[in-house]
Amino acid sequence: MTPPAITANHAVFLDIDGTLIDLAATPDSVVVPPDMPDILQNLMQKTGGAVAILSGRKLADIDRLLGAHLACAAEHGAVLRDPAGHVTQNVQRPAAYDNWLKILNRYAAQMPGILIEEKQFSLVVHYRRAPEHEAELGQLVERLIGASDDAVLLLAHCAFEMKPRGGDKGDALAAFMQIPPFAGKIPLFVGDDVTDEPAIRMATDLGGAGLHVKRDFANSTAAVRAWLRG
């Protein structure tokens, strides 16, 4: 679909990696465009503050990258920060988290290029630099998840994420739409990954638009930023 022009009647929800900024070999090696703070600040002014980040990243990483304490859902909605800055946590770590970390680190030590990312509630296996290990790692995380009743597996761009059961970006978007300054507005969400699909559906179900970077922006983060600039 053609992305609508953003107005004061819209509430805007944004993923980060692959949406606002290009993907990179590792989460720490991404490059944030220098005009990103201005884009977000102008967007806040245009929407009356109805802007939120919905990301799989940790809360501290979101702030480090974007340089602004925006309303956000971190770790796919496990952590919510409202516009007033109040932070709530909606889940607990899977019981097997520490054991999984030991096992994953042991595998990573034998597979150059594999990165294990520790979040507050989740573990992520990144294999972008060593895609030849995808099948073996996929079997490993499925086996570990299969023995757990409090966690689920998320498939992302060159990554497997083991996260607590319950909640996703769609639930986070719906929660924000219940409070000022989002309530009563038309939701717009932009994402690029399988983990963004719940928010894409939720924005559409709530009478707005769920946009996909590949489908609606020619797979270009620059096109997303140009749209946000208006």
What are the backbone angles phi and psi of residue 198, rounded to the nearest 5°?
-60, -40
- Does 17 participate in catalysis according to the annotation? no
Assigned token pair, 32: 């944030």
Of the listed 15, 17, 61, 196, which one is catalytic?
15
Burial class, 193, CB count within 10 angstroms (exposed 0-12 / middle 13-18 / buried 19+):
buried
Residues taking part in catalysis: 15
